Every structure is written in C-alpha cells, then in structure tokens.
C-alpha cells in the first residue's frame, strides 16, 4: 500500500504546531496502524529527520496509551477499537490519512501526537478508590452481588482511561470517564460507604481541571473503544445531586 500521511507536528507545549506531509510507501496491509507509523519513522530517521512522536505501550487494546485522532475520529472509524488495534487493511491504496493528537484544553500537547492526560490521574486520586480495609482476598462467592450490578460494574471497570470520550465530545467533557470510575464502585458493596463523597470529590476535581460540561451528544459512547454506556453518566448525576443536597444539610 502507498499512502499519504498528514501528521500534526509540535515541538513542545508552547510551539504553534503544524501539519506536515509524509509518504508511506510499501505498507503491508496486515500491519497495525502503529506498526505503519514505525515504518514511516524508520525512513524519517534514516533520512536524518526527527521521528513522529506518539504514545503507545501494550499494543493490545488494554492500556489506552495509543490515543490518536485518525481522520478526525479518536482511535479511528472502527467501533470498539483502539488505535493499536486498527489495521491497515481498513484503508485503501492511495488514501490520505490525517493524524492528530486528542484535542482538549485539559489535555495539553506535550509533543507531536502525545498529550498530557495527568488530569485523569488527579480525578481518580480525588476519590476513585475505597478506604475499607478488605484484608486478604475472600472467596468469590462470599459477598453476594446481584447479576445486573455485577455486569454494570464490569462494564464500567472496562474503562482504560484513554481520553477518547473527551476528544470526541464537542464540550471536551470527561463525564463518561468519571462516571465509569464512580459507577464501577457504586455497584459494589465495598463502594457504598463513600459513594456520595466519591461522586462529589471526583466531579469537583473534573471541573477544576477544565473539562467541559455534558450536554448529551453521546459522542463519548460512540468513540469509546470499550463501548461504555452513557447510562453510567445518569448514575453519576444522581449520586452527585444527592451528595450536594446532603452536604447542604450537614
């Protein structure tokens, strides 16, 4: 395959940034999108240029590091797929592919296609945990959990924190991410003692990081590589409202 890449290049957070054009010749259709970038980078380096900087780690769709916007869509057009799981057979010979970083005020560009997503870590640190002393691991059936609750908890826990929901949202809202972290614990017995406190702390941290508000476009669910449901946002809104009311009467 012979392709043309239009890639965002930015030397650092203060750099203006620009789109540069690179030929991608002789790309095997069975290779992944990141492997294609590796091939292009190898040629750039051999020609004495600066390689395209991008984030990656597991290359198995688990870690969420491979956060790129491909032709204007976070992680590309395929549903339920991370960038590292996109294969070049999904493109046609002669295609022009636009590759840019995730765009959000709370995700400043570090270099080229790499953005700083530490805002997510700070949101989790604000309340995405439990303080209960669980001791050693108990038998799987020792704490009965309803099937629907267990499935909802698993659905929410699938979030890999990639930030596609933020990049896809016209408001750059992090509500799907935050709701997944809140809902995961809200469906489990261990998460009940701090349930309202958790929702309050994480939403306030989210707001302080500069993320936008949710206005129900549902682009977050469409872009999420783990297809996490927006139903979790409804649960977060309920828990947050209860927490605000409870705080007023303390």
Instruction: Give tens-digit pLDDT for 71-123.
Output: 999 999 999 999 999 999 999 999 999 999 999 999 999 999 999 999 999 99
Q: Are residues 183 and 101 in the same domain?
A: no
Question: In total, how many domains does the chain have?
Answer: 2
Q: What is the mean pLDDT of the chain?
A: 95
pTM, to two decimals: 0.93
21, 5 contact by CB (below 8 A): yes
Q: Are residues 146 and 167 in the same domain?
A: yes
First-residue to last-residue Cα distance in the chain = 65
Give residue 134's domain range. 117-248
Q: Are residues 151 and 229 in the same domain?
A: yes
Q: Are residues 63 and 107 in the same domain?
A: yes
CA separation for the pair 24, 13 (Å, rounded): 27
Q: Are residues 157 and 98 in the same domain?
A: no
Predicted confidence (pLDDT) at residue 133 exceeds the cutoff of 80 = no
Longest dimension (CA), the chain: 67
Instruction: Give tens-digit pLDDT for 164-189.
Output: 999 999 999 999 999 999 999 999 99
pLDDT of residue 67: 93
Q: Are residues 83 and 191 in the same domain?
A: no
CATH number (domain holding residue 78): 3.10.20.30
pLDDT of residue 134: 64
Q: Are residues 139 and 243 in the same domain?
A: yes
Q: Are residues 52 and 126 in the same domain?
A: no
């Amino acid at each position: 395959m012979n392709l043309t890449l239009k890639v965002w290049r930015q030397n650092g957070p203060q750099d203006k940034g620009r789109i540069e054009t690179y030929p991608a010749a002789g790309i095997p259709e069975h290779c992944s999108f990141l492997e294609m970038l590796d091939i292009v980078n190898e040629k750039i380096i051999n020609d004495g240029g600066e390689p395209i900087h991008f984030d990656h780690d597991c290359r198995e769709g688990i870690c969420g590091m491979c956060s790129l916007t491909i032709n204007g869509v976070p992680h590309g057009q395929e549903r339920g797929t991370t960038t590292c799981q996109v294969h070049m057979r999904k493109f046609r010979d002669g295609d022009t592919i636009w590759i840019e970083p995730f765009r959000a005020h709370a995700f400043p560009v570090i270099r080229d296609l790499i953005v700083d997503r530490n805002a997510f870590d700070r949101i989790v640190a604000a309340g995405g945990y439990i303080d209960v002393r669980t001791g050693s691991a108990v038998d799987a059936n020792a704490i009965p959990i309803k099937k629907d609750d267990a499935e909802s908890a698993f659905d929410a826990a699938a979030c890999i924190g990639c930030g596609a929901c933020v990049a896809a949202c016209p408001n750059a809202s992090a509500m799907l991410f935050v709701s997944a972290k809140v809902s995961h614990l809200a469906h489990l017995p261990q998460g009940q003692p701090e349930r309202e406190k958790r929702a309050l702390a994480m939403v306030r941290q989210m707001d302080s990081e500069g993320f936008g508000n949710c206005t129900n476009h549902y682009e977050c669910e469409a872009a999420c590589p783990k297809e996490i449901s927006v139903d979790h946002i409804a649960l977060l809104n309920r828990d947050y409202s209860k927490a605000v009311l409870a705080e007023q009467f303390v």
